[in-house]
A = this chain, B = another copy of it.
Amino acid sequence: MEQPDLRRAGLKVTGPRLKILDILANEAVGGHLSAEDVYRRLIDAEQDIGLGTVYRVLSQFEAAGLVTRHHFDGETAVFELNRGEHHDHVVCMDCQRVEEFTDEAIESLQSAAAARLGFEIVDHALILYGRCRREACPHRRRAG
């Protein structure tokens, strides 16, 4: 099921690539993994794959359109398997949880705003930073 994706992308089907693809695919929707995250999971799964390879493979996947790279904070990039549909993100500032959403109205307003400025939009990043209401979220313990 994943091998064709790799072939289509012009990438050889190798253990590391399959395994990394697998890790990304088994992530729940809204699960965004940093290279380190992927690396740790590989170690947990007894896979002997170097961090350098993880970066290389993730970059190749990105170039091939298999994954998308996000920069929710300015430091560490996180990767997400492309499931076809575009979406935006809400990130909880306390527990780092990420939720995804789409809003057609926002999308078209964006294009309109850009057109007004003489830009033709190729891509966009809309990230909302806030606090979620989840029980487990740290700020509920702090401030109530």
Indicate if A125 sits at the interface (CB-CB under 8 A).
yes
Count the copies: 2
Chain-B contact segment, one of A12-20, A45-53, A115-123: A115-123
Indicate if A142 sits at the interface (CB-CB under 8 A).
no
Residues on the B chain within 8 Å of A123, using CB: 128-130
The interface bits of chain A over 59-88 (1 if a CB of B lies within 8 angstroms of the residue's CB, else 0) are 000000000010100100100000000001
The complex places the Cα of A71 from the Cα of B70 at a distance, in Å, of 11
Q: Report whether A129 and B133 are in contact in the complex, using a CB–CB cutoff of 8 Å.
A: no
Chain B, Cβ-Cβ closest to A76: B74
Chain B, Cβ-Cβ closest to A70: B74
Q: Report whether A101 and B124 are in contact in the complex, using a CB–CB cutoff of 8 Å.
A: no
Q: Report whether A128 and B114 are in contact in the complex, using a CB–CB cutoff of 8 Å.
A: yes
Task: Tell me which of B71, B93, B118, B134 contacts A71 (CB under 8 A).
Answer: B71
Chain B, Cβ-Cβ closest to A77: B74
